[in-house]
């Protein structure tokens, strides 16, 4: 803030902000080594199963018994990926260890993207609109309506899942994207609450100036409030994407068929189709790898943002 | 803020014609207020429709179903409190509650202790974003994938973990197929999936603690353990309490992992309440009975959520 002593104090402050990183440069104590060992152990336990998943996916099904301990497969192959992506013929897939059932993970991947994309974008938009109304517009009964809406936080998901399934079924929306996204696309109480909190903190002056210039609420919302709220909007959008990407029960109930089957449901069905006594592990791990890749890309592209979002919404 | 809504005039002019010429001559404030009202309902329309159709209506419907016999094919027939009186004699239901409780204790215990350990290590050693991002990966992955991944890692014959155990002379274990080990295994798998997430939340809380406290404690010769118990834990208490309640509510709703790995078995050892509801509704087609179980679960979770809201309110002062 104060312009005079800029460079030196910031450097000093940075050192002060991490006293232990500083002292680490000075001395290496046994305790410190033990602590780093623990942390590296945790990282190993986190990462290794993923490595093993990819390693298995790259192993030919025929080798699964003979080659199950080495860190690198004896005969690495892409065939498992090709067959779960539906890029091989039925005969080739069966020869490579498939059950012969039709799988097309490319399609399920796309379905997952459509499913979580629709929910993330529309839910964020509609919740922002509602949050804005509650934060900024005056209308009779505002606090009461807000209270009722937030009370929905108290209702556990399983409770609404059963009747919502009946509703979607009666509407004839089973196995359509409309039915799959309907319950979550219009609102979720937490997002309304979260965005309202942020909108309350935006200074009113800018809006009032715009009002005097004759800009309506819709214009203020789109041209002033939304651009100013990029961070929180991305936060809500990202966490919604992750949750809907992981979603299993609802898409399992409403979108089992091929046209709407998302990755999680596809993995479950794929597992059931493979014999219990001799599961198609190489194929399952190839499919599992495909379900991890997109979130990994998300993490690499938006890593810092995602990690910081957590600090922001996590403690909800 | 509260004063705004208490203002009487807009309420009175509620039914007035929007094209009323008198409004045009009214002062700016009043005109703005009338416009607000119309705009507000437009802004709220999607959320309110969503709320009414997919939250409010199904809640009432769920309570109604719990009082009926309903097999999803023919119309529900009213059965009064039958489902509830059946619940009292249903051993499977009490088993599900017991099993869920066992899971919650195991999972929350390990997740909180390990999360706290990880968060402390990060807080005292490094601020690397890359490291935090890696720890977050298991949380980003669908539970279905996590379940399959660990079924493979823990497979009785070919699983990597059993190879290690065998090499160490400990013999092999069918983790998911043993009635004793199935539940601790499911809890362990979910601990693996969620500990990084918990640790990051706690770490975020630790960053709020002023650094000079640690500096002066270290000048006074306090060790790491003392700093943890005397500074970190007491100052982290609100965040810790919140994280605990949130993950508690979350772990009551375990479903995906069980659905993929054990399907409630062996011998109901992992038939948790969510899975029991699912089976009753969609395998046995007893929607009414499933709804009654859901009502009971809703009451339990409602109490926990109420506690959560209280904590939320206590931790954020500017809350309405």
Cβ distance B129 to A217 less than 8 Å, yes or no, reads: no
Decide which of A67 and A140 is more confident.
A140
**Chain mean position to CA B284:** 27
Residue A158 reports pLDDT greater than 80: yes
- Give the separation between CA B203 and CA B196, rounded to whole angstroms: 10
For each of chain B's 320 residues, which pLDDT tens digit applies? 333 333 333 333 333 444 444 444 444 555 555 568 888 999 999 999 999 999 999 999 999 999 999 998 888 999 989 999 999 999 999 999 999 999 999 999 999 999 999 999 999 898 888 899 999 999 999 999 999 999 999 998 889 999 899 889 888 888 999 999 999 999 999 999 999 999 999 999 999 899 899 989 989 888 888 999 999 999 998 888 888 888 898 899 999 999 999 999 899 999 999 999 999 999 999 999 999 999 999 999 888 888 877 776 665 543 33
Q: B77 phi and psi, to 5 degrees?
A: -115, 135
- Site from A55, A116, A139 to mutate, B interface, most B CB atoms within 10 angstroms: A139
DSSP H stretches of helix in chain B: 2-6, 9-12, 21-25, 28-51, 57-65, 82-88, 91-125, 129-140, 143-153, 160-167, 182-207, 211-219, 224-227, 233-252, 256-261, 273-282, 287-315
Cβ distance B298 to A284 less than 8 Å, yes or no, reads: no
Residues in chain B within 8 Å Cβ distance of A143: 2, 5, 320
Q: B residues 39-98 near A, CB within 8 Å?
A: 39-41, 43-44, 46-51, 53-59, 61-62, 65, 72
- Nearest chain A CA: its distance from B109 CA (Å): 17
- Give the separation between CA A39 and CA B235, rounded to whole angstroms: 23
pLDDT interval class at A284 (50, 70, 90) = very high
- Contact of B208 with chain A, judged by CB distance below 8 Å, is answered with no
Cβ distance A152 to B55 less than 8 Å, yes or no, reads: yes
Q: Summarize the confidence of residues A304-310 as an average pLDDT.
A: 77
- Give the separation between CA A287 and CA A310, rounded to whole angstroms: 28
Encoding tokens for residue A88?
């091989």
Residue A11 reports pLDDT greater than 80: no
- Nearest chain A CA: its distance from B307 CA (Å): 11
Average pLDDT, whole number, for chain A?
Answer: 85
- Site from A122, A186, A192, A268 to mutate, B interface, most B CB atoms within 10 angstroms: A186
Instruction: Tell me the pLDDT tens digit for each residue of A251-267.
Output: 999 999 999 999 999 99
pLDDT reported for residue B312: 67
Q: Which residues contact B6 (CB under 8 A, 6 or more apart)?
A: none
- Give the separation between CA B249 and CA B296, rounded to whole angstroms: 14
The verdict on ipTM greater than 0.95 is no
Q: B68 phi and psi, to 5 degrees?
A: -130, 170
- Contact of B152 with chain A, judged by CB distance below 8 Å, is answered with yes
Q: Which residue in chain A has the smallest CA separation from B6?
A: A140
């Amino acid at each position: 803030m104060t312009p005079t002593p800029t460079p030196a104090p910031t450097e000093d402050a940075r050192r002060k902000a991490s006293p232990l990183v500083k002292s680490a440069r000075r001395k290496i104590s046994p305790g410190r080594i033990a602590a780093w060992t623990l942390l590296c152990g945790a990282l190993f336990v986190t990462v290794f199963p993923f490595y093993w998943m990819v390693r298995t996916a790259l192993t030919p099904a025929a080798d699964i018994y003979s080659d199950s301990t080495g860190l690198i497969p004896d005969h690495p192959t892409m065939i498992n990926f090709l067959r779960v992506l539906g890029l091989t013929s039925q005969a080739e897939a069966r020869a490579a260890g498939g059950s012969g059932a039709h799988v097309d993970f490319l399609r399920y991947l796309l379905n997952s993207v459509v499913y979580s994309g629709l929910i993330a974008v529309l839910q964020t938009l509609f919740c922002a609109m509602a949050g804005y109304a509650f934060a900024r517009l005056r209308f009779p009964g505002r606090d009461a309506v807000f209270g009722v809406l937030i009370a929905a936080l108290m209702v556990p998901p399983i409770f609404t899942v059963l009747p919502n399934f009946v509703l979607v079924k009666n509407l004839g929306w089973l196995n359509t994207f409309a039915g799959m996204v309907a319950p979550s696309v219009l609102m979720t109480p937490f997002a309304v609450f979260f965005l309202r909190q942020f909108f309350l903190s935006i200074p009113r002056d800018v809006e009032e100036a715009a009002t005097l210039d004759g800009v309506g609420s819709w214009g203020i919302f789109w041209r002033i409030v939304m651009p100013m709220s990029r961070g929180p909007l991305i936060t809500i959008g990202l966490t919604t994407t992750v949750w809907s990407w992981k979603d299993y029960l609802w898409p399992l109930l409403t979108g089992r068929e091929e046209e709407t089957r998302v990755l999680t449901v596809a993995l479950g069905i794929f597992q059931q189709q493979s014999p219990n006594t001799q599961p198609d592990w190489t194929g399952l791990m190839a499919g599992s790898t495909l379900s991890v890749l997109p979130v990994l890309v998300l993490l690499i592209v938006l890593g810092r943002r995602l990690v910081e979002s957590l600090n922001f919404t996590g403690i909800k | 803020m509260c004063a705004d809504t208490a203002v009487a005039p807009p309420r009175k002019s509620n039914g007035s014609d929007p094209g009323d010429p008198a409004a045009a001559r009214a002062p700016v404030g009043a005109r703005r207020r009338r416009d607000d009202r119309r705009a507000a309902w437009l802004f709220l329309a999607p959320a309110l429709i969503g709320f009414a159709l997919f939250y409010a209506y199904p809640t009432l419907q769920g309570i109604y179903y719990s009082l009926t016999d309903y097999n999803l094919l023919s119309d529900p027939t009213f059965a009064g409190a039958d489902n509830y009186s059946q619940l009292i004699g249903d051993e499977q239901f009490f088993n599900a509650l017991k099993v869920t409780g066992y899971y919650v204790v195991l999972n929350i215990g390990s997740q909180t202790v390990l999360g706290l350990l990880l968060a402390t290590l990060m807080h005292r050693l490094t601020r690397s974003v890359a490291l935090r991002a890696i720890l977050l990966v298991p949380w980003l992955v669908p539970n279905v994938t996590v379940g399959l991944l660990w079924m493979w890692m823990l497979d009785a014959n070919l699983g990597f973990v059993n190879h290690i155990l065998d090499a160490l002379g400990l013999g092999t274990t069918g983790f998911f197929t043993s009635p004793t080990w199935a539940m601790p295994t499911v809890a362990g798998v979910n601990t693996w999936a969620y500990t990084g997430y918990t640790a990051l939340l706690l770490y975020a809380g630790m960053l709020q603690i002023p650094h000079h406290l640690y500096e002066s404690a270290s000048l006074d010769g306090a060790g790491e353990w003392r700093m943890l118990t005397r500074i970190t834990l007491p100052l982290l208490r609100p965040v810790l309490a919140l994280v605990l309640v949130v993950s508690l509510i979350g772990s009551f709703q375990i479903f995906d992992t069980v659905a993929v790995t054990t399907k409630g078995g062996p011998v109901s050892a992992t038939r948790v309440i969510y899975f029991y509801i699912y089976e009753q509704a969609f395998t046995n087609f007893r929607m009414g009975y499933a709804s009654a179980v859901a009502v009971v679960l809703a009451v339990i979770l409602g109490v926990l959520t109420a506690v959560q809201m209280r904590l939320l309110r206590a931790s954020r002062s500017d809350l309405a």
